[in-house]
């Protein structure tokens, strides 16, 4: 805890900032005031929430969940929602010198003054930033220590979390009061309503948490106890209060009625994704076995094309953005993609607005789409074959073939693109050096397509990330390759991808290793996190700040066996740290898919044949547009 | 039709970096439903151009931008300008306020090509405990120097410049218990420029004044086209 935080009034913070800001990099990140920012009356709000993205402003402002929930919560009369991000280390230092606590960008109130501090868990390597933010706010890290002196002083805020990593929040369990599993559009306001009523009725924190636990998707870690076997595996999870034994995710059933943020905040300092994000659908039917998003966001729900066009127009009117991106897990799978693109571009061209697509799948990418997008702008193309051979692609159920890739690459080069980025993963189960050779061969073949299409000077970027097993995927039981093995594989590829026309990118194996520990970690890993933050670890997803030596010291100090989490084969019969949580997919399905993976048996796209994962129709029904 | 606007850059908007300004105006124009002309080529960009950059965090009282807008049939150029100013103002961030506007004649030169003088106001607050006569004398001594060499490091390279020749004049506007207000006229534009903070630091170190720069408030009052007679012309009225 930081004892030097003396200043707390928002006026004082604002005044002090004017002296600090000229001395830090990109001060525009710390003052708010952007177009479409919502500044509500502090004194009139029944519940005051601050949505915290635990990374820098430019990254956080690109997040779709932030855009949706910020607009949504502020659309309610009794609620107020502000924003906060991790200050870059230069700013953190200046704030500490001046005794400034972390504040929200709308009203400059310190986080400590809010009723709810809601973190979004987007990637494991942001966990230290979460704890650092609590430190910078003068809020005790552990929930058990956040008890205000009896009758005196204000209660500490409730610390909430949601987002994809919430499906295994156990490494953060001791620090969080409440976790929301699944989609927040309906459930977040419902939670705030419960908090508002609880506050008004003068209920204690525990009573409010008990009330919250009756909402679907809400997990209160402190009401569950975990018992372990001597070997460290989980014996059982016991409920301490009258709460559900298994928490099922919250889900938006009709996506057309889901809140869409038209008036999103337009940053002045450029954000990573600085454009209108039009979410064409949620969920994915492909069933790639390594992909957590493909599992947890089921079922597939498409938005109607008419609604998308209307939303696009309104969003451009309200923001002035010069680009619209059609986002989803697999946008070219959207049933009416061609029609939507055509209509969008017809409407947007004269306003100087580009339309873009995020990474595309190879088998559904056709020349028509390529050329449509190209009419407006020729940004780089990204494809994700994920593995170098058909055998390994069958293992991970990535149903694309070499022919798909080469045909598409040819079409793209022919249509005018001159650079293609290929994403792969190394360290996948059953991988051999033959599969790595396959990556090299694919890269060469893609370049050969450029030659064939008459595109001289074409370039290919090969990016290889290291496989990290994730909760609620068929590969959740699989050990990660050791760092030595991963490094050797990287070296092997590096040697063979030496070419002026090929750029090879790969990730830090130490960071992937830590990511695996936290992705499959249980509550015992919380001690490591706490140690690391105290030692100064932060911004672990930024290579310039990731300090693996410090993490290793932390492992030695806390006695935590990291290999137990990263490199161990989890057993199908053992209780997993996340078994008391559920995205609706049955464990039987995941196990069956795991067996299929090891046999290289492909499971078809569930649009074609239901794979019986357990989500439909119990959790929600799939929503598909008719092809037109 | 090319229009030139004078605007303020105050409050939170003073933290908008110069490189981000084009985007800020482009988006405001699109929200205001004002169509601008785009450059030709692979990556068309809106024809919006600014005067000399203002350092992040410094307030500007009269900054300038040129915008090449599409004309509207049935609307006179004068009426169109009035309409644009009104609509655009409604879409600009807090702190950016359009204060003046003009239609530019054909062949009008770019702001960066004509503006050659920047006028700054430096407010040295009373808390610095500076004596007005000492500040005046220090400035006079500094101005009396033939040259003042300053080494600037940029991207690892060191370059030595004479900053004295870039400062036209220093005046005291007022001095009371609130503090001392200086006016600096500095050469700017294609011939290079110097930051007011550099000038102040140089005066402080060479002439022996103790000034904590963090306390000093800097405002850019205006930008001008100084002709050979020393006359200052408003960029809105300059020809071509």
Q: B43 and A377: CB-CB below 8 Å? A: yes
pLDDT tens digits, one per residue of A539-579 = 999 999 999 999 999 999 999 999 999 999 999 999 999 99
Does residue A548 form part of some domain? no
Gyration radius from chain B CA atoms: 20
Cβ atoms of residues B69 and B35 within 8 Å: yes
Kindly state the average pLDDT of the residues A377-382: 64
Quote the distance between the C-alpha of residue A15 and its chain's center.
35
Q: pLDDT digits over A380-403, tens only?
A: 678 889 999 999 999 999 988 899
> Which of A29, A318, A352, A419 is the mutation pick for testing B, counting most B CBs within 10 A?
A352
**Mean pLDDT over all residues of chain A?**
92
Distance CA B121, CA B145 (A): 22
* Residue A189 placed within a domain: yes
In whole angstroms, give the CA distance from residue B11 to residue B96: 8
Q: Rounded CA gap, B106 and B229, in Å?
A: 26
Residue A135, domain CATH: 3.40.50.280
Q: Report residue B131 CA to chain centroid gap.
A: 29
Nearest to A371 by CA among A333, A404, A338, A420: A338
Instruction: Count the neighbouring beta carbons within 10 Å of the beta carbon of residue A508.
Output: 18
- State residue A606 phi and psi, 5-degree precision: -80, 0
Instruction: With CB atoms and an 8 Å threshold, state whether B31 touches A31.
Output: no
pLDDT tens track for B151-185: 877 777 888 889 999 999 999 999 988 899 999 99
The average pLDDT across A454-478 equals 95
The residue of chain A with its CA nearest to that of B34 is A351
CB atoms within 10 A of CB B87: 15
Confidence of residue A371 (pLDDT cuts 50, 70, 90): low
List residues in chain A touching B: CB distance below 8 A.
Answer: 19, 21-23, 26-28, 31-35, 266, 268-270, 316-322, 350-353, 377-378
Please tell me the distance from the alpha carbon of residue A249 to that of residue A261, in angstroms, as a whole number: 23
Give residue A376's pLDDT.
44
Max Cα distance, chain A (Å): 77
pLDDT score of A367: 59
For chains A and B, count residue pairs whose Cβ atoms are closer than 8 Å: 76
Following DSSP, what letter does each residue of A221-235 receive, concatenated? Answer: GGGEEEEE-TTSSEE
Residue of B nearest to A105 (CA): B12
Q: Is residue A336 part of a domain?
A: no
Domains present along chain B, CATH in parentheses: 2-113 (3.30.70.580), 115-233 (3.30.70)
Q: What is the pLDDT of residue A362?
A: 55
A465 falls within a domain: no
Residues of chain B with Cβ-Cβ distance to A107 below 8 Å are none
Residue span of the structural domain in which A186 resides: 10-248
Question: Does residue A545 lie within any of the structural domains?
Answer: no
| Phi, psi angle pair for B170, to nearest 5° | -130, 130
Would you call B12 and A32 a contact, using CB atoms and an 8 Å cutoff? yes
DSSP assignments along A53-69, one per residue: ESS-HHHHTT-HHHHHH
Question: Given a cut of 70, is residue A347 above it in pLDDT?
Answer: yes
Length of chain B: 240
Q: Quick check: is A436 in a domain?
A: no
* Residues from chain A contacting residue B56 (CB–CB below 8 Å): 22, 27-28
Structure confidence at residue A375 (pLDDT): 53
Taking contacts as CB-CB distances below 8 angstroms, the residues of chain A near B31 are 35, 317-320
Domain count, chain A: 1
What pLDDT does residue A150 have? Answer: 55
Of residues A279 and A400, the one with the higher pLDDT is A279
- Confirm whether A209 is domain-assigned: yes
How many beta carbons lie within 10 A of that of residue A215, not counting itself?
A: 17
Between the alpha carbon of residue A262 and those of residues A62, A69, A75, A156, the distances in Å are 15, 12, 12, 33
CA separation for the pair A20, A6 (Å, rounded): 17
* Mean local confidence (pLDDT), A359-384: 62
Of the candidates B11, B28, B214, which has its C-beta nearest A320's C-beta?
B28
B67-76 CB burial, b ≥16 within 10 A, e <16: bbbeeeeeee
Contacts of B57 in chain A (CB under 8 A): 21-22, 27
* Distance, CA of A216 to chain centre: 21
Give me chain B's average pLDDT, please.
Answer: 92
- Answer whether residue A239 is part of any domain: yes
Asked if residue A122 has pLDDT above 50, the reply is yes
- pLDDT per residue over B186-237, tens digit each? 999 877 889 999 999 999 999 998 888 888 999 999 999 999 888 999 999 9
ipTM for this model: 0.86
CA gap B151, B162 in Å, rounded: 9
* Residue A1: pLDDT over 50: no
């Amino acid at each position: 805890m930081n004892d030097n935080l003396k200043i707390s009034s928002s006026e004082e913070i604002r005044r002090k900032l004017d002296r600090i800001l000229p001395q830090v990099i990109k001060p525009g990140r710390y003052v708010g005031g952007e177009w479409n920012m919502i500044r509500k009356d502090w004194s009139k709000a029944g519940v005051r929430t601050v949505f915290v993205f635990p990374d820098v402003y430019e990254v956080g402002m690109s997040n779709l969940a932030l855009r949706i929930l910020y607009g949504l919560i502020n659309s309610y009369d009794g609620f107020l929602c502000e924003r906060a991000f991790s200050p870059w280390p230069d700013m953190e230092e200046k704030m500490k010198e001046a005794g400034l606590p972390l504040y929200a960008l709308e009203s400059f109130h310190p986080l400590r003054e809010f009723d709810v501090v809601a973190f979004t868990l987007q990637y494991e390597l942001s966990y230290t930033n979460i704890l650092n933010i609590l430190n910078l706010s003068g809020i005790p890290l552990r929930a058990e220590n956040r008890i205000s002196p009896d009758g005196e002083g204000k209660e500490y805020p409730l610390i909430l979390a949601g987002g994809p990593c919430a499906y295994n929040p156990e490494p953060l369990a001791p620090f969080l009061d409440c976790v929301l599993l699944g989609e927040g559009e309906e459930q977040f306001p419902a939670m705030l309503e419960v908090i508002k009523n609880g506050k008004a009725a003068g209920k204690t924190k525990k009573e409010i948490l008990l009330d919250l636990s009756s909402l679907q998707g809400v997990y209160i870690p402190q009401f569950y106890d975990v018992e372990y076997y001597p070997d460290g595996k989980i014996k059982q999870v016991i409920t301490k209060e009258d709460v559900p034994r298994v928490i099922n995710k919250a889900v938006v059933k009709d996506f057309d009625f889901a809140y869409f943020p038209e008036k999103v905040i337009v940053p002045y300092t450029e954000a990573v994704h600085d454009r209108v994000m039009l979410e064409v659908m949620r969920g994915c039917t492909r069933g790639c076995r390594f992909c957590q998003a493909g599992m947890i966001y089921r079922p597939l729900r498409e938005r109607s094309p008419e609604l998308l066009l209307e939303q696009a127009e309104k969003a451009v009117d309200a923001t002035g953005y010069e680009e619209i991106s059609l986002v989803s897990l697999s946008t070219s799978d959207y049933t009416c993609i061609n029609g939507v693109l055509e209509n969008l571009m017809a409407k947007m061209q004269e306003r100087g607005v580009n339309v873009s697509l995020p990474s595309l799948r190879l088998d559904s990418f056709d020349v028509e789409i390529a050329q449509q997008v190209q009419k407006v702008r020729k940004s780089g193309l990204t494809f994700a074959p994920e593995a170098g051979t058909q055998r390994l692609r069958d293992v991970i159920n990535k149903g694309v073939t070499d022919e798909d890739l080469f045909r598409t690459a040819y079409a793209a080069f022919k249509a005018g693109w001159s650079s293609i980025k290929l994403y792969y993963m190394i360290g996948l189960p059953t991988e051999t050096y033959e599969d790595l050779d396959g990556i090299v061969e694919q890269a060469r073949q893609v370049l050969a397509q450029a030659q064939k299409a008459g595109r001289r000077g074409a370039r290919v970027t090969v990016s290889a990330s290291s496989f990290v097993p994730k909760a609620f995927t068929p590969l959740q039981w699989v050990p990660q390759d050791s760092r030595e093995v991963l490094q050797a594989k990287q070296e092997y590829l590096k040697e063979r991808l030496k070419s002026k026309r090929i750029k090879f990118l790969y990730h830090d194996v130490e960071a992937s290793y830590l990511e695996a520990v936290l992705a499959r970690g249980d509550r015992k890993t919380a001690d490591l996190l706490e140690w690391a933050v105290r030692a100064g670890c932060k911004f672990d997803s930024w290579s310039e700040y990731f300090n693996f030596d410090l993490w290793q010291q932390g492992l030695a100090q806390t006695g935590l066996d990291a290999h137990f989490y990263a490199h161990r084969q989890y057993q199908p019969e053992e209780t997993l740290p996340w078994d008391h949580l559920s995205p609706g997919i049955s464990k039987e399905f995941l196990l069956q898919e795991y067996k299929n993976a090891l046999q290289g048996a492909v499971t078809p796209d569930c649009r074609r044949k239901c794979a019986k994962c357990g989500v439909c129709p119990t959790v929600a029904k799939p929503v598909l547009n008719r092809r037109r | 039709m090319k229009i030139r606007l004078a605007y303020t850059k105050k409050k939170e908007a003073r933290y908008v970096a110069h490189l981000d300004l084009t985007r800020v105006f482009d988006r405001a124009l699109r929200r205001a439903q004002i169509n601008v002309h785009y450059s030709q080529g692979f990556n068309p960009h809106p024809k919006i151009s600014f005067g000399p950059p203002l350092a992040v965090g410094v307030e500007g009282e009269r900054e300038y931008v040129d915008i090449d807008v599409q004309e509207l049939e049935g609307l006179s150029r004068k009426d169109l300008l009035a309409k644009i100013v009104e609509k655009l103002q409604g879409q600009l961030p807090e702190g950016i306020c359009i204060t003046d506007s003009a239609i530019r004649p054909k062949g009008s030169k770019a702001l960066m090509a004509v503006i050659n003088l920047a006028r700054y106001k430096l407010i040295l607050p009373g808390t610095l405990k500076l004596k007005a006569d000492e500040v005046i004398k220090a400035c006079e001594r500094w101005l009396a120097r033939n040259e003042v060499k300053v080494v600037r490091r940029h991207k690892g390279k060191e370059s030595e410049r004479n900053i004295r020749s870039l400062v036209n004049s220093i005046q005291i506007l007022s001095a009371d218990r609130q503090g001392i207000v200086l006016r600096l006229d500095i050469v700017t534009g294609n011939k290079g420029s110097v930051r007011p903070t550099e000038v102040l630091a140089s005066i402080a170190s060479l002439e022996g004044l103790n000034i904590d720069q963090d306390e000093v408030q800097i405002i850019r009052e205006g930008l001008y086209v100084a002709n050979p007679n020393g006359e200052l012309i408003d960029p809105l009225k300059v020809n071509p």
